[in-house]
Amino acid sequence: MNKHDNQLRLRILMTTGVAILLIFLIAIFSYHIRESLEKELQSTLQDVSKQNDIVITDEIDSRFKVLLSISNNIKDFSGNPDELTEHLQAFVKVYGLKRMGFIGADGIAHTTDGYTKDLSGREFYIRGMQGLSSITNVMTDSIGNSNDPINVLSVPFYNADGDSVQGVLFATYRTASFEELLTVTSFEENGYSCIIKSDGTIIASSPDAPIHSTENLFELLYSRNANDAEIETLKNGLSEARTLTGKFSLHDTFYYNAAPLDFQGITENWYTITIVPEQFLTQRLVPTTQIVNMIFLILASITIISLIYYIYSFNSKKEALWKLAYIDSLTGGPNYAAFKQFSEKVKANFCYIIAMDINEFKIINNICGVDAGDEVIRSIWQIISHNIRPEELAAHVSADRFVMLLSEDSREILIQRILNLTSEIEAISSTLNVPNVLPAFGIYPVDSLDKIEKCYSHAVQAKHLIKGRHDKNYAFYEDVDYQRLIEEKEMEDQFESALHEHQFEIWYQPKFGTDSFSIVGAEALVRWRKKDGTLYSPGRFIPLFEKTGMIPALDEYIFREVCRQQKEWECAGRKMLPVSVNISRASLYFVNIVERYKSILDEYDLNPKYVQLEITESATIDNSEISSLVAQFHEAGFHLLLDDFGNGYSSLSSLNTINFDTLKLDKSLIDYIGDESGEKLLYHVTKLAQSLGLYTTAEGVETKEQVDFVKALGCTDIQGFYFSKPLPRAEYEKYLDA
């Protein structure tokens, strides 16, 4: 064998060795690339499934909260069913429901779209009469002719004593709405999501899914000869109500992630499950396989180039997957999953997590349409992204909710940035010709971002402090008073028993005539005397009961107690003076409010002139039906007082368009006395009221100077600490006996 043959053999061996090494290296790289892509795919599945969980749970919980709030206001309802269904119409429109209705103890349903039907045999009605809230599985709409697939959410409503279920309030929710919520573009439209029961029944699925409502996933898998062990793993996971990630094999392999939904009213476990075919993964490996074949043909000479290409290809595919998982489809910016991931890499020593949403955003969608609402969201994102520095973060969470991470050393500068953002966002209203776009910000200062979801939750808590306010649109987490939250929870829990045990005491603040400064009446105020003797002022519980929907029950309690006491004084032969009772704005929306109050008067056989009603000015602005209500109260014989006039936004036109009997000048106007401009304002407001034939009461009078001024103005009577603070019954009776 000559030298040439030896060299040829060596080259062949070297070439073979290089080829084998290349194949080995390529196999290793291919394996790791596939493994990494598979892990990324599973991680993305988890994120998409979790976002679906949040969206579905929030949607259902918000509907239940609406039903519970309404049910609290229809206790002892015995009026015309048409009036109640008409009252429910507004909620159907605002919350995008198909219909609402109520079922009485006779099992007959009355709906907002005019149907009456016996539903006594329905499970949700039976559960409701047992005091249980529920949401049904998918069913065919048996009311009307649509045959739409629907889910029914229901809650019981009780009598006034709260000890007996008198009916069931329900809302018909289009199953198609679940499908719309599941319409999340993922994995280049290869993936799809479903809501599924633990027995495998499909509740709802995204429109592009190959499986549909009422089909059974397990039966489908068995019918297509899927691997029995994989099916059992999925079934066991669902039966145990736990989150699981796995795959099953049909003609192809499919990856899935299933997570349980957690909300009230569910009778058996529901899950969201997101599925993506392995084909999505293999499609991304095709270019890699082609490169491997090419590299194998040219052997070792391009090994280094091939390795570089593999690394580049791997990074590109990873980036593509990242975009699919972490880019918001509406704004084109980061979503909440991306925000969480990137927040872990922020190096700032101190920063702020800010939760933001838009007050009453549903109004924009309802009035202008969803497309206009989406355009508002995109415009808001453009403003936020332009105001974010390179080292800061922001993302669109869902709907009208956004989250930001801002790094500022100075709280004053941070507040100024928020005010600047507010100004730019509010300008969207005129730019896009939509109703007011009013942002609300909750701020949580952090020095560690280890638990970003907890930080965001704290920011959301802070935001709730100022939701709906017009004087301020931001709040810090430190403003959250946890001791107060605990106290409020206790007050909520004790409210019903406090009513039954008459722990709410009626106090009286006398009113004095300006002619002789003798007592001419009083305003009824409330105090809560706990069992241990502690006395709570109304400022500690009235705002809470207004927020929780309990205030109408307290209003009626106070009115009834005043009527009872007035009748007792009348029977005892005491001097009879009118006592005015406050009605909250929430009570004015209550069904048959005038008839209810008139029936209480009749129950005590009391002349309505002895029990007057006070309505705050802000309630007249918010309630479009106020003129009609005032007319009905007058027809029932009540004397009506417009309370707190001049406190905040005031409308002089309301004095002429709404027929009140007495105008109560708020303390904020009385405090102008001593200021020339303020006195002119008070003078002209008073004279305008008098020219319209209104009596005038000066509230919050505390000094001799104020007494003299309002007397000179010709005010009818005076109320304030100058003459008397609010008095318990025994002390007030001394005035009646004088």
pLDDT confidence tier of residue 614, bands split at 50, 70 and 90 = very high
Task: Give the domain 1-325 fold.
Answer: Beta-Lactamase (3.30.450)
**Tokens coding 735:** 């005035």
607 Ramachandran zone, left/alpha/beta (phi>0; psi -120 to 50): beta
Could you give the CA distance from residue 156 to residue 168 in angstroms, rounded to a whole number? 4
Match domain 484-737 to its CATH number in 3.20.20.450, 3.40.50.2000, 3.40.640.10, 3.30.70.20: 3.20.20.450
Could you give the CA distance from residue 98 to residue 113 in angstroms, rounded to a whole number? 9
Could you give the CA distance from residue 510 to residue 733 in angstroms, rounded to a whole number? 11
**Tokens coding 386:** 């332009």
- Please state the domain extents for the chain: 1-325, 336-480, 484-737
With helix as H, strand as E and coil as C, how does 675-699 read? CHHHHHHHHHHHHHHHHCCCEEEEC
Could you say which DSSP state residue 445 is in?
A: E
pLDDT over threshold 70, residue 506? yes
pLDDT at 224: 74
Consecutive H or E run containing 525: strand 519-529
Least reliable range by pLDDT among 11-20, 55-64, 270-279, 403-412: 11-20
pLDDT over threshold 60, residue 5? no
Taking residues 494-517, report their average pLDDT.
94
**Tokens coding 75:** 């206790």
pLDDT confidence tier of residue 79, bands split at 50, 70 and 90 = low
Could you give the CA distance from residue 93 to residue 517 in angstroms, rounded to a whole number? 53
Give percent above pLDDT 70 in the chain: 85
pLDDT at 300: 57
Nearest to 632 by CA among 608, 610, 616, 655: 608
* Helix 626-635 × helix 593-603 angle, to 10°: 20
pLDDT over threshold 70, residue 376? yes
Give percent above pLDDT 90 in the chain: 33
Nearest to 632 by CA among 85, 83, 78: 83
Contacting residues for 160 by C-beta, under 8 A, at least 6 apart: 75, 76, 553
Task: Give the domain 336-480 fold.
Answer: Alpha-Beta Plaits (3.30.70)
pLDDT at 306: 65
**Tokens coding 157:** 């409503």
Q: Tell me: the pLDDT tens digits for 446-499?
A: 877 778 888 898 898 888 888 767 778 999 988 766 667 777 888 899 999 999
pLDDT over threshold 60, residue 77? no
Nearest to 358 by CA among 375, 337, 380, 378: 380
Consecutive H or E run containing 536: strand 535-536
Start-to-end C-alpha separation, the chain: 140
pLDDT at 65: 83
Q: Tell me: the pLDDT tens digits for 554-595?
A: 999 999 999 999 999 999 999 999 999 999 888 888 778 999
pLDDT confidence tier of residue 623, bands split at 50, 70 and 90 = low
Please calculate the CA angle 559-563-567 and round it to the nearest 5 degrees.
Answer: 170
Taking residues 616-638, report their average pLDDT.
81
pLDDT at 206: 79
* Whether the Cβ atoms of residue 305 and residue 372 lie closer than 8 Å to each other: no
Taking residues 505-521, report their average pLDDT.
94
Least reliable range by pLDDT among 4-18, 126-140, 433-447, 563-577: 4-18
* Helix 81-94 × helix 3-72 angle, to 10°: 150
pLDDT confidence tier of residue 697, bands split at 50, 70 and 90 = very high
pLDDT confidence tier of residue 442, bands split at 50, 70 and 90 = very high
pLDDT confidence tier of residue 56, bands split at 50, 70 and 90 = confident
pLDDT at 723: 94
pLDDT confidence tier of residue 289, bands split at 50, 70 and 90 = low
* Whether the Cβ atoms of residue 527 and residue 507 lie closer than 8 Å to each other: yes
Q: What is the pTM assigned to this prediction?
A: 0.46
Could you give the CA distance from residue 307 to residue 309 in angstroms, rounded to a whole number? 5
pLDDT over threshold 80, residue 42? no
Could you give the CA distance from residue 242 to residue 262 in angstroms, rounded to a whole number? 11
pLDDT confidence tier of residue 14, bands split at 50, 70 and 90 = low
pLDDT over threshold 90, residue 436? no
**The amino acid at 405:** L
pLDDT at 404: 95
